[in-house]
Amino acid sequence: MKDPHLTADGHTYEAEAIRTWFSRGRHTSPMTNLKLPHQNLVPNRTLRKVRILLFQVFKFNRRNRKRMVSTRSIVQAQELEKRYNEEVKLRKEAGDALASKNEEMEVMNRLHKEEQGQLKLNTRAMEQKHQKEKVNLKVAWLENENEKMHLKAEVLEGKYKGELSLRKETETALRNQSKELEETKQLLEACNVEQENLTTQVRTWQERHDQESRLKKETEDALSREKQELETVKVLLESSKKETDAMRQERDNALLVFDEMATKQAEERQPPPSFICPISQASLI
C-alpha cells in the first residue's frame, strides 16, 4: 500500500482503489459487503509508519547479502502495530455506534411520520365533526329566523290594516287641504311677483355696490403703488445723499493731502541759507 485510508467500518484500503469503488455507485464495504453509513475516508498514518519501519527492518544489505535486523526497529514496529490494532478497534466501535445511531434515527423518523399521519387523520375527523356542528347550528339559526319572520309578518299585517283606515282618513283630510292649498297658491303667486320685483332692485343695488367697491379697490391699489414708489425714491435719495457726503469727504481729504504735498515740495525747492552757485562759485545769502 502506498496511500492507506480507513473507511467507516474500520477496514483499510488503498485510497485510489476505494475511491474508484465508490465512484462506480457502490455504497457497501468491499470486505463485509455491508452498507456504509458514510463515504468519508481518513488517512491511516499508523499503517504508513509501520510500512516505513518494516521497510527499514527488512532492509537488505548489499555488501554481505544478509538481512540486517534492528531490535529497536522491531520493538517500534510492534508498538505501532499494537496502536494500529487499537485504532482499528476504536474506529470499528465508532462505526457500529454511528450505525446504531442512524438506525435509531430512522426508527424515530418512522415513528414521527406515523404520528403525523395519525394527527392528520384526527384533524380531518375533527374538521368533519366541526363542519357537522356548524351545519346543525346554521339549520337551527335558520329555523329561528323563520319563526321570527312569521311573527314579523303577522305584526306587519296588523299594521297594514291600521294604516288602511288611517289612509282613508288622511284622504278626506287631503281633499280639504287641497282647497286650502289652491288659495295659498294664488297668494304665493302674488308674493312671487313682489319677490321678483324686489330681487331686481337688489341686483341693481348689488351691481352699484360692486362697481363702487371695485373702484375703491383700484384707488387703494394705486395709492399703495404710489406709496411704494415714494418709499423707493426716498431710499434712493438717502443713498445718493450718503454717496455725495462720502464723495465730499473724499474730496476734502484729497485737498488736504494735496496741500500738504504742495507745502512739502515748496520747502524742498527753497535753497539752504549757505547755498553756493556752481557757475559763479559765489555764495548766496
| Residue 36 DSSP label | P
Residue type, 177: Q
Closest CA to 45 of 74, 12, 18, 78: 12
243 pLDDT exceeds 70? Answer: yes
Residues 18-60 have pLDDT tens digits of 889 888 888 888 888 888 888 788 888 777 777 776 666 566 4
Mean pLDDT over each residue of the chain, to the nearest integer: 79
Q: Are 56 and 75 in contact (CB under 8 A)?
A: no
Percentage of the chain with pLDDT > 90?
0
Average pLDDT over residues 232-238: 88
Is 66's pLDDT higher than 50?
no
pLDDT at residue 282 in the model: 47
Write out pLDDT tens, residues 91-114: 777 767 777 776 777 777 788 788
Q: Which residues contact 15 (CB under 8 A, 6 or more apart)?
A: 3, 4, 5, 41, 43
pLDDT at 273: 54
Cβ proximity of 36 and 47 under 8 Å: no
CATH class of 4-58: alpha beta
Residue 62's pLDDT band, with cuts at 50, 70 and 90, is very low
Q: In sequence order, what E strands does the chain have?
A: 4-6, 12-14, 42-43, 275-276, 283-284
Task: Find cell 553756493 and name the residue.
Answer: 276
Identify the pLDDT of residue 271: 54
pLDDT at residue 238 tops 60: yes
- pLDDT score recorded for residue 60: 47
* Residue 170 pLDDT greater than 60, yes or no: yes
What digits encode the pLDDT tens for the residues 179-191?
A: 888 888 888 888 8
Q: Where are the domains of the chain?
A: 4-58, 78-181
| Residue 162 grid coordinates | 291600521
pLDDT of residue 270: 60
Cα torsion 29, 35, 37, 43 to 10°: value is 0
